[in-house]
Structure formats: structure tokens, C-alpha cells
Amino acid sequence: MGNNEPLRVTALRAVITDFLAARYKDKLEAVKEDVNDPDAANLQREKLRQQFIPATWLEDAARRAAQIQAVTHSLKPVHPDAKGSNLFVSPTQFEQLQVVGSHCLTIDFAVDFVCDAKLLPIVAFLKLEHEGSSLLSLAVAGDPDFALALSDDTVQAMTWLDAFASLAKSRGRLSSHTLAKQVYWQCLEDAEDNASFHLLAPLYATSLAHRVFEAIKEDDNFNDAVKAARKAMKENTYSERPVRVYPQLAIQQLGGSNTQNISHLNSKRRGENRLLASLPPVWRSMDLKPLLNTDSMFHRYSRRPEVRQSVKALLAFLKTDSTRNVATRSKRAAWVYLLIDEFLQFTAELRSLEPGWSQTSQCKLTESECRWLDDDGVKATDAELDRSPPTDIPERISAAFANWLNAQLRPPLPMGDPEFLAWRNTMQEEIKAQEREGTHVE
């Protein structure tokens, strides 16, 4: 450990001692006096003092460092029970591409940590910074001044330095897990040859996700500067601060009530993972027209080739009067789900039309269908008339679909209330599933 800089060693040692002194002070404040046993508090204070002697604390931290892993790409956000490998890859190690990715991060990127909550003090220690570099980065770089700041004993110092540096190294063989996601990626031309594919195991780019979260949070932060910029945009006047808008931003919750189970950065974000809209373009056929001069959207829906084929197949299957078992219910459900998927696609196409078409005199649809297909257009009318919209439109649409399907199967089949309830509930579940996918849309 030659070529040390004494002033830098002293400064690094001060970072360490100040951190331990602050933690020791916090722990002391939690010690309570016991009137029945005055010596108990003194013994507890002495025990704490011994724990926070730098050599003692660093020895214990280095020993437990093997239970912590520093990562930039983690597996648990993919599935919290997955047991495969996590990776620490510096952004400088990536190929520089013309797309956004972890390679875009600078050297001051946020490092994530996978560990139990009881090990977070060690994480906090390694995140301490000196001259713009974290203690972890100094350990990984084998910084001689940091080693000397840890201990005057050369052997001891290097042992601790290596222990802390090991947090950013791979543990054992790289492995995936049955609960992890895997993707076959075609890399050669022959799609019928298995050798043409690589099996990829995607990981969650936690450092990049945290940078995105912080950037959006800064734009969402309604301080005076942000308020002034938004006001200027609204009034169409100049502002030096740009205003960024993230349409259809979604928030994915990771970790449930135990966000630390996923990772340290996930806990800092309260489990929030911001998802930018990544939507396919809505296909607009040249002959896509509003539903005018008809009293039900199901008239046009029924004419779709896929719908006619699915209804015909479902009717033929139900007429066979198959044995009532799991296989029969599964086959029936498959045909119903095809009809529901086609219905949701049909309504999505109509929603791509210019808002307001349902408010013309030629539109004869029911209120619920108008709101379902032209929500923005009806909302404009609501605002003009100062009226409150109903909250049960999905339920009404589900019931209308169930009535329509019963009518398609009757005659010859005796469709009644049980079938109505089955179709309606299935449709409601699918609508709710779509709503959950768009939860917290802003």
C-alpha cells in the first residue's frame, strides 16, 4: 500500500469515524433508564460503545458482507421468489448503442443492494462518499488510501477491503431459475433450427430504473420553479425551465408490503417502478366509421368474421351436450374468451375515432355504449351540462354482452340466467384485468 496520501487517508478515516459516531449516538438515545436496575442502562451503553469501536464494527461488517450483493441488474423484481444470479455491471462495460439502456448511465449511477434489512447499516456505510466516490467504488478499485483508512494493519486492511469489494462480484456460477423469465432470441436465419436461437434470461435494470424514477420525480416535484414553468406553459409564455410530460405513465408496485425484500433501491422508491407508455399503434382501417343510425354496437360486432366463426363453433360444441367436467368447461371457456377478445379489439378500434361522434344526432346508441366507445366525447358533454357520469359502465357493458351471447345461442339452446351470469362475470373479469394493467395511469 505504497504512495499513500496522508491527508486523504485522514479524510477517509474521518468519514468512517463520523458515520460510526452518528450511529452510536442514535443507538444511545434509544437506551432507557431502569429505576429498578440502574446499572442495566450503563451496561447497555458500554456494550454499544464496544460495538461501535471502528475496528470492532468494521470486522463484523466485513464478515457479514458476504450476505450482501451490490447489483445493477437484479432478478427479484422479475419474481420475488426467484433464486438465480444478480449482476453488477458498470455502464462503461456496455457497448454504446443508439438506444436508451444502462450504458447511458454515467459513473455516478445508483448502485442497488440485495440483502436483508438487518444489513442495511453496512449498505449505508458503503454508500458514504468522499470526493465524489462511494466507499464501495473505492473498495472495488482497491484504493490504497481507503485500505489504510480502514486499518493500520496492512493484512487486516486488505482483508476488509477485499470483503467489501466482493459485494460487486458475481457469486458462483451464473444461473437462472424456474420462476425467472426466459426468452428464445433468434440469432441465425434458420428459424426451424434450434441452434439458431439463444436462450436469454432478462434481468431488471435496477440502476437504470432508479435513474428514470428520479428524473420523473424531479419533473413531478411541484416546487416553485416547476409551478412557474407549468403556469408559463399554460399561459403560452416563456420559461427557462422546460416542462416534461409523461402521458399514460403507469406505476408498477414491487415487493408488496415488504419492499426491502426486492432490493434497497426498491425500498427507497416505496416499491414504485415507473413505466413509460410502450403501446403499439392503433390500426385504423380506411372503412372504420362511427356507429351511426343503429341502436346497438352488437349489430356491427356480430358481422365480424371471427365473431361469426366463434359463435358457430361454440353453438356446435354446446349442442353436443358433452359431459360436465373440467375439460368441457375449459373448451367452452376458450370459445367465450375468443369472443371477449374480439369484442375488446372491436371497441378499441372504435375508441380510436375522433371524440364526439357519439354526441351527434345520427348516433342512436344507448348511453352506456356511448360512454364505453366515446368516453372523451361524452365527458365533454358532461362538462357542458355539469352532470356526473355513472360509475357502472363496465357492469352495463358486461350485461349487454351476456344478453347478446344468450341471444346468439337461443334457439336452439335454452339460455337463461345461469348462462347470463357466467358470460357477464367472465367479461367483467377481463375488463378488470385490463384496468389493472393500466393501474395508476397518469
pLDDT, position 55 = 92
pLDDT, position 442 = 34
pLDDT, position 240 = 87
pLDDT, position 286 = 58
Joined together, the cell numbers standing for residue 395 give 357492469
pLDDT tier at 35, thresholds 50, 70, 90: low
pLDDT, position 249 = 87
Positive or negative torsion for Cα 386, 392, 397, 399: negative
Residues 65 and 167 sit within 8 Å (Cβ to Cβ): yes
Residues 336 and 423 sit within 8 Å (Cβ to Cβ): yes
183: three-class secondary structure by DSSP: strand
> How many other C-beta atoms are found inside a 10 Å radius of the C-beta of residue 382?
13
pLDDT, position 331 = 82
Residues 71 and 89 sit within 8 Å (Cβ to Cβ): no
373-374-375-381 Cα dihedral, nearest 10 degrees: -140
Joined together, the cell numbers standing for residue 194 give 434450434
252: three-class secondary structure by DSSP: strand
Helix (H) or strand (E) holding 301: helix 298-302
Q: Is the pLDDT of residue 222 over 80?
A: no
pLDDT, position 441 = 36
| pLDDT single digits (tens) 70-123 | 889 999 898 888 888 888 888 888 888 888 888 888 777 888 888 888 889 999
pLDDT tier at 339, thresholds 50, 70, 90: very high
The percentage of the chain sitting over the pLDDT mark of 90, rounded to a whole number, equals: 38
Helix ranges (DSSP H) in 320-416: 326-351, 367-373, 375-385, 393-409
| pLDDT single digits (tens) 259-275 | 888 889 999 899 899 88
Average the pLDDT over 410-431 and give the result: 88
Average the pLDDT over 162-172 and give the result: 87
Q: In whole numbers, what is the pLDDT of the chain averaged over residues?
A: 87
Average the pLDDT over 127-153 and give the result: 91
| pLDDT single digits (tens) 373-402 | 999 999 998 888 888 889 899 999 999 999
Q: How far apart are CA 325 and CA 260, in angstroms?
A: 44
Q: How far apart are CA 10 and CA 394, in angstroms?
A: 67
In this structure, the chain runs to a length of 442
Q: What DSSP line would sit under 23-55, residue for residue? A: HHHHHHHT----TT-HHHHHHHHHHHHHHTSHH
pLDDT, position 284 = 61
Q: How far apart are CA 5 and CA 43, in angstroms?
A: 40
Look up residue 438 and give its DSSP letter: T
